[in-house]
């Protein structure tokens, strides 16, 4: 039995090691290396790459504080937070509405929610270029109403980027939220009304707290990939606003500074881990409370 467990799981372990752990170790190694003269890297241990996140080297070799990259990190976290929040706010009513449908309609609607995943991410983001772009659907529509003449460009700004992000990641929120709402006992909602709770009170004090696990699961699923988003900032944000994902890509590409790119990637990974850890702690604390 033990043997079987070892051999049975071996392929999974090998796969994990080769595709997850080894690459991460390589990235860590690169981040502590020196930049090669023509891109790439030379392995001579240094923490320069990490220092570069916070400090510039002046003409005379002195270090001066440079908040530029901190801004990018902060901006990335902010964008991820906004996206997560908007996804929550939009996904909850959508998921709730789906639970109210008949069995057949539900299956179809859930399939529709997952449908975008069948199409390439790039194609989907390009679709937004067409919707928001000059002579796009929205602009033409508005012009047809005759109310608006001269529109500022809808593309290449924070709004367009956010719209694209929410669009890309909202299915990851809808599915777990749907699952948690579906599990909700309708008798509890009736009991709340029976105990003089208005619709609003029932939503705030009964439905939302009981669906909270689903919202948290969805938030993690959305927040984590948002931190590393590359496509939306480039295509919809116009690449003018740098996010961590773009920064990393630039370092490995045009800037040819692999160690610096690797160090930012490690920082990004640590950020994700901090958020997951916080959530884990919260869950454990809650479980402890339940036990007590």
Partner 1 sequence: MIRAGTGPTRKGTDLETRKKAVEIRQVSKMFGTFQALETVSFDIYDNEFFTLLGPSGCGKTTLLRMIAGFEEPSTGQIVLHGNDIQALPPHKRRVNTVFQNYALFPHMTLEQNIAYALENLGWPKEMIRARVAEMLDLVHMSKFARRKPQQLSGGQRQRIALARALAPEPEVLLLDEPLSALDLKLRQAMREELRALQRQTGLTFVFVTHDQEEALDMSDRICVLGDGRIQQLGTPREVYEDPSNRFVAHFIGETNFFDVDVLSVEGDMARVRTPLGLDLTASQKHVAADQSRATLSLRPEKIGLEEQATGEILTGTVTSTNYLGGYTYYVIRVGEADIRVSRRNAMSHVPSLAEGATVRLGFLPESARVLGQ
What residues line the site for partner 1 (CB under 8 A)?
185, 187-188, 190-198, 201, 205-206, 209-210, 290
Nearer to partner 1 by Cβ, of 1 and 292: the residue is 292
Smaller CB distance to partner 1: residue 197 or 228? 197
Nearer to partner 1, 93 or 209 (CB): 209
| Surface-to-core class of residue 96, CB atoms within 10 Å of its CB (0-12 exposed, 13-18 middle, 19+ buried) | middle
- Which helix H or strand E contains 64, and what residues bound it? strand 63-65
- Residue 93: CB minimum distance to partner 1, A: 21
Q: How far is CA 89 from CA 73, 84, 288, in A?
A: 24, 9, 29
Closer to partner 1 by CB, 206 or 226: give it: 206
CA nearest to 160, candidates 135, 120, 132: 132
| Distance of closest approach, residue 233 Cβ to partner 1, in angstroms | 39
Contact 238, 155 (CB under 8 A): yes
- Tell me the torsion sign for CA atoms 200, 201, 202, 206: positive
Nearer to partner 1, 273 or 287 (CB): 287
Q: How many residues does the structure list for the chain?
A: 292
CB 188 to partner 1: min, Å: 5
Least distance CB 194 / partner 1 (angstroms):
5
CB of 90 to partner 1, least distance (A): 24
Distance CA 30, CA 262 (A): 6
**Torsion angle in degrees (nearest 10) through CA of 224, 220, 67, 46:** -50
Give 201 or 270: the residue with its C-beta nearer to partner 1.
201
| Minimal distance, residue 192 CB to partner 1, in Å | 8
Q: How far is the CB of 84 from partner 1 (least distance, A)?
A: 23
Give the HSE-up count for residue 64: Cα atoms under 13 Å, Cβ half-sphere.
6
Task: Dig out the tokens for 239 from the structure.
Answer: 């690449």
CB atoms within 10 A of CB 170: 21
Q: Which is nearer to partner 1, 202 or 246 (CB)?
A: 202
């Amino acid at each position: 039995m033990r043997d079987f467990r070892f051999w049975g799981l071996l392929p999974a372990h090998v796969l994990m090691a080769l595709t997850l752990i080894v690459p991460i170790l390589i990235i860590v190694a690169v981040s502590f290396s020196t930049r090669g003269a023509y891109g790439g890297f030379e392995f001579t241990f240094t923490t320069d790459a990490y220092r570069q996140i916070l400090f510039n080297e002046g003409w005379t070799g002195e270090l001066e504080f440079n908040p530029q990259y901190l801004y990018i990190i902060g901006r990335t976290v902010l964008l991820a937070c906004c996206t997560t929040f908007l996804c929550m706010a939009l996904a909850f009513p959508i998921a709730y509405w789906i639970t109210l449908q008949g069995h057949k309609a539900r299956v179809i609607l859930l399939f529709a929610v997952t449908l975008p995943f069948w199409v390439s991410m790039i194609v989907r983001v390009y679709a937004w270029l067409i919707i928001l772009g000059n002579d796009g659907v929205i602009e033409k529509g508005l012009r047809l109403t005759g109310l608006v003449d001269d529109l500022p460009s809808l593309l290449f700004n924070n709004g367009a980027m956010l719209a694209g992000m929410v669009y890309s990641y909202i299915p990851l929120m809808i599915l777990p939220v749907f699952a948690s709402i579906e599990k909700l006992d309708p008798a509890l909602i009736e009991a709340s009304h029976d105990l003089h709770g208005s619709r609003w009170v029932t939503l705030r004090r009964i439905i939302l707290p009981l669906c909270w696990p689903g919202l948290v699961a969805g938030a993690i699923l959305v927040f984590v990939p948002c931190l590393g988003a590359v496509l939306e900032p480039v295509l919809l944000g116009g690449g003018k606003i740098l996010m961590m994902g773009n920064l990393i890509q630039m370092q490995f590409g045009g800037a040819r500074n692999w160690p610096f790119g690797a160090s930012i990637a490690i920082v990004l990974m640590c950020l994700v881990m901090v958020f997951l850890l916080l959530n884990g702690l919260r869950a454990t604390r809650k479980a402890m409370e339940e036990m007590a």
